[in-house]
């Protein structure tokens, strides 16, 4: 019978795991096994699997007898190899017991060091090391750690006993205690623990071991670890492995040390060995920051540690060995490593290695350098950088060295950092900007009317709305930092004040936002500009060679076109025409159109708009020379263009020769209970054909004009919110007839496409019919998510975070495509579309088109392109390349 194995040895003679067994052995355990097999000096030990942790949970926190037997066998092996014995009073073996999950969860779970000490073994340790002070200090530390981690004892009282004794002895540092002092402390600790908890400190090493293993298993469920997993999307049902490893001591005097090193510089990626260490210390001391760690070599010297001797200078033999090992590890793992080491009386041990955390700039440099060093293939390099991390490289970020006072946290709607004077409305933003003042636009939410203010502001902060709210989408398009849906900020637009957690801010105060994290800070914090490096260019070229998906951009003005081209866009996938209507000279004409009583009045107003639209499109065609430009006809409900303030109503009444009451009445007529499902999209085109006809004319006149000026144009006309083939058929026929008129008038012909957005489930399900009237489909997954879930884009932010907390949504479905639900509609529509129109071209232009996981999905179902905001184009290029590497 094949009995399931729960304990894996790692030692010089017998190593049962390897680096690919992270699921079972955790990251730490898998790497300890791998390093043992590579012949590195790893203190021998064994790993108890994550599966054992899950069984332990199932068995109500009891270690099974069979597991205990397996552990004892593994322990015997360690005894044989080290020649020491667990619990022996002459030659005691001591262990560390540490957690180690699949994904790194630094500091979230528990650790016990120096396990196996008691009144007898401490004497053995003392004789063995010839260092009584060290032995008793280890014992004291062990009691403190064990009583806290395993017995749940509040150790503050032990700490104060220690401090009292220091005062009594008139000393400042722990190491100044004499062995007699430490013995006195140990006795006091045991007495206090017994008196306060009623429990005797366990002296049996086996009991200590069972209890410590149980405690580490239990620490998987502690609130801190739970919270961390929720934040990092780590499933609760993975469990942690436990690593039981023979102790080595970096605190045995001046020939001992402990340290941490990186095989390359983790902040710049430069190829230089880099690290810190402490003489006569245990691992935890380096991290704790009580003593200033010394530099490992000259490269690691900085202003705070340059007065200290380096590891290379103090322990050259160990340093040279460490160099040999780090090179070996980096070559083996083909990645930058973060290594922990200890020197015990002149002997070097390696305690841990893992792929080192790094900044995005470092990640890119390391990936590119490793290809030229022959360590990685181009594909491996492409896979080693998270697409999302490129964000950091393209936007300004907060100076990490500046002090910060965090006020609130909202949604990370558009990356980049910006600070400025708070303004509460767009006019004020524009006025201040004209005076050269940097402002932050703070609003409950934004609407298309705020475009001017958004352009003028350094960044945008809203207290409402989700990741596809107007503020979020538009800010991303502009590459402007934005924090949206920051619900803990209360805004009073009348008083021009905001309050947050008891503090109030008004015009004249300053705030800073970090759109990559959603954080809002008090005052103005300096930022660091992004620059495009040579590595970035090389890296992106490799991505382009590898990807199959084309990457277009969502842009509606020449400036955005230029930015997107710089980032490698291959066309426009969505140009939202309504964004062009809010300039002051146009809004009146739009309002005149809305207030028209009949079709001829409407046409008259539209004639005024035509030249503006034509100009806009000429500008875009010119910038996008040679590339496809997909322009969507008017989409939002008309009431979005209505005047709100008394002043606007007045101006309009005057302009149209109507009374204020007439204006207000008309506005009331246009009111809809549910405008997102109301008179919008192609429904406007069906009701008021003149609107779409004007837009089609503007597009084609612009195309003809540009083409006569030597520009290569590829216009695509896109109809929004189609639900029935009939809608598209009617609007296609109208468009063609308008286009034919333009061709006849200009005596020119140009190739063009007419297609539709797929953004309601019915369109996806009847794509076989719709495809016959469409040259292309473009998935509007913002609306398609809204209509499939029946979940409002604008209001979901109110309860979505709660759903996410409960684990109902792993990620916001407006950010990462719901592949199970909405994704099926994409698949169905693509298949039906292609079956019924083999020439059909299929893309996506919802916000998901710039989100890596959704891009993987789009690749898998065979879309032709994704389209995203200009600043996300590089992210999409890399994600598309990765998808093609992973899925072929
Ligand atoms: C969409 O719905 O996905 C889309 C791109 O259109 P909009 O966001 O403008 O509604
Ligand atoms: Mg839409």
pLDDT tens-digit readout, 411-440: 888 888 999 999 999 999 999 988 889 999
With a cut of 60, say whether residue 286 has pLDDT above it. yes
Which ligand 1 atom minimizes the distance to the CA of 759?
Answer: 2
Which ligand 1 atom minimizes the distance to the CA of 782?
Answer: 3
With a cut of 70, say whether residue 757 has pLDDT above it. yes
The mean pLDDT of the chain is 92
The Å distance, Cα 759 to ligand 1 centre, comes to: 8
Q: How much is the pLDDT for 1?
A: 52
pLDDT band at 2 (very low <50, low <70, confident <90, very high): low
Which ligand 1 atom minimizes the distance to the CA of 846?
Answer: 3
Residue 705: closest CA among 769, 779, 621: 621
Mean pLDDT value across residues 206-217: 97
The Å distance, Cα 457 to ligand 1 centre, comes to: 24
The ligand that comes nearest to the alpha carbon of residue 850 is 1
With a cut of 60, say whether residue 290 has pLDDT above it. no
Mean pLDDT value across residues 779-803: 91
Burial of 612 (0-12, 13-18, 19+ CB in 10 A): middle
User: Among 555, 782, 818, 822, which residue has the most ligand 1 atoms within 8 Å of its CB, making it the best to mutate?
Assistant: 782
With a cut of 90, say whether residue 172 has pLDDT above it. no
Q: Mean pLDDT check: name the lowest of 8-22, 113-127, 391-405, 705-719.
A: 391-405
Cα separation of 56 and 849, whole Å? 43
pLDDT band at 224 (very low <50, low <70, confident <90, very high): confident
Q: Is 839 helix (H, G, I), strand (E, B) or coil?
A: coil
Which ligand 1 atom minimizes the distance to the CA of 576?
Answer: 9
Q: How much is the pLDDT for 356?
A: 87
Q: Are strands 274-279 and 257-262 parallel, antiparallel or unpaired?
A: antiparallel
Q: How much is the pLDDT for 289?
A: 54
User: Among 556, 677, 845, which residue has the most ligand 1 atoms within 8 Å of its CB, making it the best to mutate?
Assistant: 845
What torsion, rounded to 10 degrees, do the Cα atoms 210, 213, 218, 224 define? Answer: 140
The Å distance, Cα 367 to ligand 1 centre, comes to: 36
Which ligand 1 atom minimizes the distance to the CA of 786?
Answer: 2
286 with 278: CB under 8 angstroms? yes
The secondary structure of residue 314, as a DSSP letter, is H
pLDDT band at 287 (very low <50, low <70, confident <90, very high): low
Closest residue to atom 3 of ligand 1, CA basis: 780
Q: How much is the pLDDT for 381?
A: 97
Q: How much is the pLDDT for 232?
A: 76
With a cut of 80, say whether residue 243 has pLDDT above it. yes
Q: How much is the pLDDT for 159?
A: 92
The ligand that comes nearest to the alpha carbon of residue 779 is 1
User: Among 471, 783, 825, which residue has the most ligand 1 atoms within 8 Å of its CB, making it the best to mutate?
Assistant: 783
The ligand that comes nearest to the alpha carbon of residue 473 is 1
The Å distance, Cα 25 to ligand 2 centre, comes to: 47
Closest residue to atom 8 of ligand 1, CA basis: 782
Task: List residues near ligand 1 (CB under 6 A).
Answer: 574, 576, 635, 759, 780-783, 845-846
The Å distance, Cα 616 to ligand 2 centre, comes to: 21
**Tens digits of residue pLDDT in 446-474:** 887 788 899 899 999 999 877 767 888 78
The ligand that comes nearest to the alpha carbon of residue 468 is 1
Helix (H) or strand (E) run with residue 551 in it: strand 550-554
Written as six digits, the tokens of 97 are: 């017991």
Q: Mean pLDDT check: name the lowest of 123-127, 476-480, 865-869.
A: 476-480
Cα separation of 731 and 633, whole Å? 11
Q: How much is the pLDDT for 760?
A: 98
Burial of 658 (0-12, 13-18, 19+ CB in 10 A): middle
Cα separation of 63 and 61, whole Å? 7
The number of C-alpha atoms within 13 Å of 240 and in the hemisphere containing its C-beta is 29
Cα separation of 790 and 872, whole Å? 27
Closest residue to atom 10 of ligand 1, CA basis: 783
pLDDT band at 768 (very low <50, low <70, confident <90, very high): very high
pLDDT band at 765 (very low <50, low <70, confident <90, very high): very high
The Å distance, Cα 562 to ligand 1 centre, comes to: 22
The Å distance, Cα 860 to ligand 2 centre, comes to: 23
Q: Is 845 a catalytic residue?
A: yes
Q: How much is the pLDDT for 234?
A: 87
Q: How much is the pLDDT for 411?
A: 86
Q: How much is the pLDDT for 456?
A: 92
Dihedral sign, CA of 806, 808, 810, 814?
negative
Closest residue to atom 6 of ligand 1, CA basis: 780
The ligand that comes nearest to the alpha carbon of residue 721 is 2
The Å distance, Cα 553 to ligand 1 centre, comes to: 13
Closest residue to atom 1 of ligand 1, CA basis: 780
Cα separation of 484 and 411, whole Å? 5
Closest residue to atom 4 of ligand 1, CA basis: 780
Catalytically annotated residue among 261, 486, 845, 868: 845
Which ligand 1 atom minimizes the distance to the CA of 780?
Answer: 3
Q: How much is the pLDDT for 288?
A: 55
**Tens digits of residue pLDDT in 114-141:** 999 999 999 999 998 889 999 999 999 9
Written as six digits, the tokens of 63 are: 């270690």
Catalytically annotated residue among 53, 261, 395, 470: 470
The predicted model scores a pTM of 0.80
The Å distance, Cα 787 to ligand 1 centre, comes to: 12
- For residue 365, give Cα distances in angstroms to 91, 268, 338, 385: 49, 8, 17, 10
Which ligand 1 atom minimizes the distance to the CA of 848?
Answer: 3
Cα separation of 13 and 23, whole Å? 24
The ligand that comes nearest to the alpha carbon of residue 847 is 1
Which residues are CB-neighbours of 569 under 8 A, at least 6 positions away?
A: 551, 552, 553, 555, 627, 870, 873
Which residues are CB-neighbours of 329 under 8 A, at least 6 positions away?
A: 35, 38, 40, 263, 337, 339, 353
The angle formed by the CA atoms of residues 543, 549 and 552, to the nearest 5 degrees, is 95
Q: Mean pLDDT check: name the lowest of 8-22, 204-218, 487-501, 582-596.
A: 582-596
User: Among 469, 631, 720, which residue has the most ligand 1 atoms within 8 Å of its CB, making it the best to mutate?
Assistant: 720
Closest residue to atom 9 of ligand 1, CA basis: 576
As separate numbers, helices (DSSP H) first and strands (DSSP E) second, the chain gives: 34, 33
Mean pLDDT value across residues 480-495: 91
The Å distance, Cα 781 to ligand 1 centre, comes to: 7
User: Among 577, 780, 847, which residue has the most ligand 1 atoms within 8 Å of its CB, making it the best to mutate?
Assistant: 780
The Å distance, Cα 652 to ligand 2 centre, comes to: 29
């Amino acid at each position: 019978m094949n009995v399931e194995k729960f304990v894996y040895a790692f030692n010089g003679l017998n190593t049962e795991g390897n680096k690919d067994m992270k699921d079972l052995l955790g990251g730490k355990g898998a790497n300890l096994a791998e390093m043992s097999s590579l012949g590195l000096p790893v203190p021998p030990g064994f790993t108890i699997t994550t599966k054992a942790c899950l069984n332990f949970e199932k068995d109500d926190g009891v270690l099974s007898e069979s597991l205990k037997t397996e552990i004892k066998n593994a322990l015997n092996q360690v005894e044989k190899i080290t020649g020491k014995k667990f619990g022996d009073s002459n030659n005691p073996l001591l262990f560390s017991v540490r957690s180690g999950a699949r994904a790194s969860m630094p500091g979230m779970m528990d650790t016990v060091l120096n396990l196996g000490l008691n009144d007898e073994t401490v004497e053995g340790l003392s004789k063995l090391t010839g260092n009584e002070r060290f032995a008793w200090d280890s014992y004291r530390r062990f009691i403190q750690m064990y009583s806290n981690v395993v017995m749940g004892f509040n150790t503050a009282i032990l700490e104060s006993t220690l401090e009292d004794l220091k005062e009594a002895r008139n000393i400042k540092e722990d190491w100044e205690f004499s062995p007699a002092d430490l013995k006195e402390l140990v006795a006091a600790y045991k007495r206090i623990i017994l008196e306060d908890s009623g429990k005797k400190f366990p002296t049996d090493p086996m009991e200590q071991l069972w209890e410590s293993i149980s405690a580490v298993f239990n620490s998987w469920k502690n609130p801190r670890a739970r919270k961390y997993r929720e934040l990092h999307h780590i499933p609760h049902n993975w469990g942690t492995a436990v690593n039981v490893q023979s102790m080595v001591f970096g605190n045995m005097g001046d020939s001992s040390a402990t340290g941490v090193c990186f095989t390359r510089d983790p902040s710049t990626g430069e190829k230089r060995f880099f690290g810190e260490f402490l003489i006569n210390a245990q691992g935890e001391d380096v991290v704790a920051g009580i003593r200033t760690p010394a530099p490992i070599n000259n490269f690691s010297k900085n202003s705070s540690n340059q007065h200290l001797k380096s590891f290379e200078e103090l322990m050259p033999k160990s340093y040279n060995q460490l160099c040999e090992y780090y090179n070996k590890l980096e070559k083996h793992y083909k990645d930058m490593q973060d290594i922990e080491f200890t020197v015990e009386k002149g002997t070097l041990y390696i305690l841990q290695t893992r792929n080192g955390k790094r900044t995005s700039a470092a990640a890119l440099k390391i990936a590119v350098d490793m290809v030229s060093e022959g360590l990685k293939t181009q594909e491996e390099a492409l896979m080693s950088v998270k697409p999302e991390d490129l964000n950091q490289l393209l936007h300004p970020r907060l100076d990490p060295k500046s002090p910060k006072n965090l006020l609130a946290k909202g949604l990370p709607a558009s990356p980049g950092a910006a600070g400025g004077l708070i303004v509460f409305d767009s006019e004020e933003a524009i006025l201040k900007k004209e005076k050269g003042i940097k402002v932050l636009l703070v609003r409950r939410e934004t609407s298309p009317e705020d475009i001017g203010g958004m352009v003028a502001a350094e960044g945008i902060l809203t207290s409402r709305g989700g990741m596809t709210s107007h503020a979020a989408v538009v800010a991303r398009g502009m590459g402007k930092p934005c924090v949206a849906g920051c619900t803990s900020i209360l805004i009073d637009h009348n008083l021009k004040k905001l309050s947050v957690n008891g503090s109030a801010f008004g015009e004249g105060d300053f705030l800073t936002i970090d759109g990559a994290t959603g954080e809002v800070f008090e005052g103005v914090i300096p930022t660091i500009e992004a620059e495009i490096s040579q590595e970035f260019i090389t890296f992106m070229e490799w991505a382009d060679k590898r990807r199959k998906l084309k990457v277009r951009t969502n842009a509606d003005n020449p400036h955005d076109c230029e930015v997107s081209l710089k980032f490698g866009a291959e066309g426009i996938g969505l140009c939202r025409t309504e964004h062009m209507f809010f300039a002051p000279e146009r809004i009146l004409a739009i309002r005149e159109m809305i207030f028209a009583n009949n079709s001829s009045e409407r046409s008259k107003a539209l004639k005024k708009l035509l030249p503006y639209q034509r100009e806009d499109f000429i500008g875009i065609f010119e910038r996008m020379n040679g590339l496809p430009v997909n322009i969507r006809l008017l989409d939002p409900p008309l009431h979005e263009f209505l005047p709100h303030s008394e002043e606007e109503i007045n101006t309009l009444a005057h302009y149209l020769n109507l009374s204020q009451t007439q204006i207000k009445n008309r506005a009331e007529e246009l009111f809809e209970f549910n405008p997102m499902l109301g008179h919008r999209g192609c429904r406007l085109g069906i009701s008021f054909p003149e609107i779409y006809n004007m837009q089609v004319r503007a597009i084609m006149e612009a195309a003809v004009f540009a083409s006569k000026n030597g520009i290569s144009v590829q216009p695509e006309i896109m109809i929004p919110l189609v639900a029935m083939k009939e809608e598209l058929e009617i609007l296609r026929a109208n468009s063609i007839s308008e286009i034919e008129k333009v061709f006849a008038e200009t005596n020119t012909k140009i190739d063009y496409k007419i297609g539709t957005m797929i953004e309601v489930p019915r369109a996806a399900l009847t794509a076989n019919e719709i495809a016959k009237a469409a040259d292309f489909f473009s998935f509007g997954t913002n609306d398609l998510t809204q209509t499939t879930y029946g979940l409002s884009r604008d209001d979901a932010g109110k309860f979505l975070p709660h759903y996410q907390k409960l684990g109902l949504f792993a990620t916001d479905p407006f950010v990462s495509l719901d592949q199970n639900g909405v994704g099926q509609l994409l698949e169905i529509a693509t298949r039906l579309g292609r079956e019924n129109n083999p020439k059909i071209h299929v893309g996506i232009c919802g916000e998901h088109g710039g989100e890596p996981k959704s891009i993987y999905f789009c690749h898998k179902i065979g879309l032709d392109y994704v389209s995203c905001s200009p600043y996300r184009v590089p992210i999409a290029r890399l994600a598309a390349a990765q998808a093609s590497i992973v899925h072929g």
